[in-house]
Structure 1
């Protein structure tokens, strides 16, 4: 069986079907934790600012210590889904490779670091603090919990699992950044240290796997230094750290396709670490990954007229939680010549006239239709997949 088929089969067999879509909170994962409790160590290691439990899952007996945390930003849930897919895989006693992985590595996983942010579907925690800017001050309970675990475990590699907006491209191209990585800097000079090289080598390996599935759709984040970010702090301490960013895949606003590729990256990195003495010697391929651009809007309407000038209309969705479902609310964010940008969906305006710049956009959820007026006619865009 090819490596492509192998990972695909593992995902299909072990996908956690109780988790779907963008809204994932503690209430969603609690039954899954209960189900796994007899098979692995699961403990409450602290509480959030609003007294929600924060769990640590431990499995494996190997000498290589790997620490993972997801939903440090509560509205970045794709990696959480993938983490539980991986846990299902690692619980499969019939899978021959699992035994080797768990004998080589010990995994420590915090599935949702910000349960309050996850419940409210927001980047911030209960006190409106960005936990990924609190690594030094540690003003929040969640930051203290994470710092304590890092100090106790002293991980060989840390995996910081996030999600990114639909605006990102893999380079300045029309290829969306479905998955992005970063080996963060540990100092203002962005020195390529021994610990960074280890992270870079692991990322380069994951990229080589992902290119077989999503060619040209893997990006690399800018490594500007900010000591208040957890990854930069860990690198400053010499702990190899890998930032994951789960991004957009064509017509995949639920991030179910992206979830699959995060699963592939997590499993392939685990296999690599289990079977290889990673020294950082092969870090150079990391720099072949294009740095992320910001070349996308959700929708671009091409070639309309405003004041006798040809322009394009860019529409971006904002995410709003309503009745435990994430709604995508359209907003016109730019009217300009957008030839250097791309839309995840593009529509020809055919030189319809905009009477003024305050174009009103209305979403009609019953029929999943975006409506607005250009010239004298009502212009409608179906949001459903064609």
Structure 2
């Protein structure tokens, strides 16, 4: 099966870029056919609707939710691409709808999505509210979980561009986790079932992004949604959409999320062979904080009247300005870059740094500068 061809064929064209909010998805929800049951299941803090999409009539039930963090939209795009596939007459789509019942919440935090923040409108991180459920959005997720009683949960997120795969120093384009159920991070049947799903997805993704699949840290925190549902004896899979070279809008990475979702249904969920499954999972390289968006090497600076050669790094922050997402590059690290890579690297060949009359970079300043007063860098990027 050519998974990448399917991901391209069923890509939802109305969802592009990273700024995806409720008004982006509502018109698409209205186009889903009669196979899909669309229900508003509650309201956010600011009164925006939260919707569920239900499809399939099978005995194995899977609950999925995306944009728990409002500024993490890649998996939402991948989920709508997957809906397009399920609408089709593809035999695999028919089998999935026959064997499974899927209940999907494509945007759990619509306020955060509109404001482009991780938190909800009360400035609460919903992924730290699972145990106490103080927020209306988390209360809705709890209610759906209890009424649906899923056999599996898919917890869909994005991760920052700083993550790579340990030992390879390649971008962690997709990462997974079978969350822990206790402080000791032991493995039980619940975690092993989630691991089995992860191993299926990883084996397919290696054909497309070899050594760019990571394993997220499994430190235990019962306030985190995945850990909480695992303690409730529901196998839960954390998805983290990461960086692919040049793809800051994550319109390539969404295809790997589609591939992940589709390949998770590739065979039975049963017959887990413990030793093999656990070893395969633990062989997935861990996420490692080893990247910056930009690294500038061999830069001459003058500090306290002393010349020296340094390296420094800049990182994008993401800000919505007048309804459009902007990437703002700022200087975040100066000369402490051992074991770091840049998604974009420049060799400045010992050219002299200049910005605002200074010959040395300043932390948290925008990455606008000149080298040798000739080569301009604007918002991190070399101007040719």
TM-score normalised over the length of structure 1: 0.92
Give, in angstroms, the shift of residue 234 of structure 1: 0.7
Per-residue CA deviations over 1:328-364 (Å, capped at 9, x if unaligned) read 00100011142421000000111123423427965xx
Q: Contact 1:311–1:338 at 8 Å: present in 2 too?
A: no
Counterpart for residue 25 of structure 2:
29
Q: Contact 2:7–2:81 at 8 Å: present in 1 too?
A: yes
Counterpart for residue 87 of structure 2:
91
CA distance in 2, matches of 1:313, 1:290: 27
Counterpart for residue 184 of structure 1:
179
CA distance in 1, matches of 2:205, 2:363: 40
Counterpart for residue 371 of structure 1:
368
Runs of at least 5 residues in structure 1 that lack an aligned partner in the other structure: 363-369
Q: Contact 1:310–1:337 at 8 Å: present in 2 too?
A: no
CA distance in 2, matches of 1:384, 1:163: 28
Q: 2:101 aligns with which of 106, 113, 136?
A: 106
Counterpart for residue 112 of structure 2:
117
Runs of at least 5 residues in structure 2 that lack an aligned partner in the other structure: 354-358
Q: 2:226 aligns with which of 220, 226, 231?
A: 231
- SS, match of residue 231 in structure 1: helix
Give, in angstroms, the shift of residue 10 of structure 1: 1.7
Worse-matched range after superposition: 208-217 or 371-380: 371-380
Q: 1:214 aligns with which of 209, 218, 230?
A: 209
| Counterpart check, 1:285 vs 2:284 | no
Q: Contact 1:194–1:280 at 8 Å: present in 2 too?
A: no
Give, in angstroms, the shift of residue 103 of structure 1: 1.1
| Counterpart check, 1:157 vs 2:146 | no
- Relative to structure 1, the CA distance from residue 239 to residue 384 in structure 2 (aligned partners, 3 Å threshold; closer, same or farther) is farther
Q: Contact 2:332–2:363 at 8 Å: present in 1 too?
A: no
CA distance in 2, matches of 1:118, 1:11: 24
CA distance in 2, matches of 1:112, 1:37: 19
- SS, match of residue 128 in structure 1: coil
Per-residue CA deviations over 1:182-213 (Å, capped at 9, x if unaligned) read 10101111110110011111111111100000
CA distance in 1, matches of 2:21, 2:86: 22
Give, in angstroms, the shift of residue 39 of structure 1: 3.1
Q: Contact 1:313–1:334 at 8 Å: present in 2 too?
A: yes
For 1:326-365, what aligned pairs fall within 5 Å after superposition? Answer: 326-354=325-353, 355-358=359-362
Counterpart for residue 11 of structure 1:
7
Cα RMSD of the aligned pairs, angstroms, is: 1.9
Per-residue CA deviations over 1:149-182 (Å, capped at 9, x if unaligned) read 1111111110000000000001144201000001
Q: Contact 1:172–1:294 at 8 Å: present in 2 too?
A: no
